[in-house]
Amino acid sequence: MSTAIALAATREPLLRAGHAFAAPAALLLFLIYIVPVGVLAWLSLTDYELGAVRTEFLGLANFERALADPVFRRSIVNTFAYVAIVLPGGVGLGLLAALLVHRRIRTRSLYEVIYFLPVTSTLIAMATVWQFLLHPRLGPVREITLGLGLGEVAFLSDPTLVLPSLAAIGIWQLVGFNMILFLAGLSAIPRDLYEAAALDGAGGPVDRFLRVTWPLLGPTTMFVTITTSITAFKVFDTVAVLTQGGPTGASEVLLYAIYLEGFQYFRIGYAAALTLIFLAFILVFSVMQAAALDRRVHYG
């Protein structure tokens, strides 16, 4: 009994010291994350407009308005369509680039730098470059479309092409980052497993990939998929610079709609409600992905 009392007496000062060390970080996280979300939730229940003197409490009226707003519904459809293109493209091409670069010895560092350059560049600046590249009359891509007999293609002003074009730019920026993550996963796979798989009859590269590489890349693939989907949901820069939501709202995504409501029309309360819906979409989608992929990773 005396030993237990002595251990408890020793543990209590250690716990207090641990709480004291963790308190500044916990306070900082509270101020950075919890407080803004609380303020956002309060604003979403009001009709607050930027610069307004009086604010009226509306309850859930902003959320009801969002559900009935055709512009908001269209931005949701556009956002999910963008994610549906970027997610498989960014993950698949990132994995392909990692597989091609992983086996190289002398030129691996060079390819890593080349593929990673879009990640380090400022997307707003690169969007201006893409605007020139995709110009239907002046851009270099015009020569390719003319050579293929497609004529002058208006990638950024055609309602049917603008969203896939923006998604292609998004994939271009994500491939390098995903490649680095997949390279880390590939480097962690023991070489002995490939030798054992070869003894079991997996002689070809496709067999080795399906039997060894792909199953062991499960945790990496899950992380890359979730981060890629979150990044795709947050698309804003290219839309703001290249299309401003046009033509006729064909590229107006959720974050850009929130930006217009909050910083162009100054309807802060309504924009706060849209932001909470946006955060709920990302949270639910990420949890669903994590649950589905986690079962596949651990249970095949």
pLDDT at 299: 47
Among 114, 90, 89, 86, smallest CA distance to 101 is for 114
Q: How far apart are CA 61 and CA 300, in angstroms?
A: 45
Q: How far apart are CA 256 and CA 160, in angstroms?
A: 19
Measure the CA angle with vertex 246, ends 145 and 172; round to 5°: 50
pLDDT tens track, the chain, 300 positions = 555 555 555 667 777 777 788 888 889 988 888 898 899 999 999 988 877 778 889 889 999 999 999 999 999 999 999 999 999 999 999 999 999 888 787 888 888 888 888 888 777 788 888 888 888 887 888 888 888 887 888 888 889 999 999 999 999 999 999 999 999 999 888 888 877 777 777 667 788 888 888 888 988 998 999 999 999 999 998 999 899 998 888 999 999 999 999 988 889 999 999 999 999 988 888 888 888 777 666 545
Q: How far apart are CA 91 and CA 89, in angstroms?
A: 6
Q: What's the mean per-residue pLDDT of the chain?
A: 86
Please say whether the dihedral angle defined by the alpha carbons of residues 226, 227, 233 and 239, taken in this order, is positive or negative: negative
pLDDT at 272: 93
**What is the SS3 assignment for 157?**
coil
CATH number of 68-299: 1.10.3720.10
Q: How far apart are CA 165 and CA 83, in angstroms?
A: 13
Q: How far apart are CA 271 and CA 240, in angstroms?
A: 17
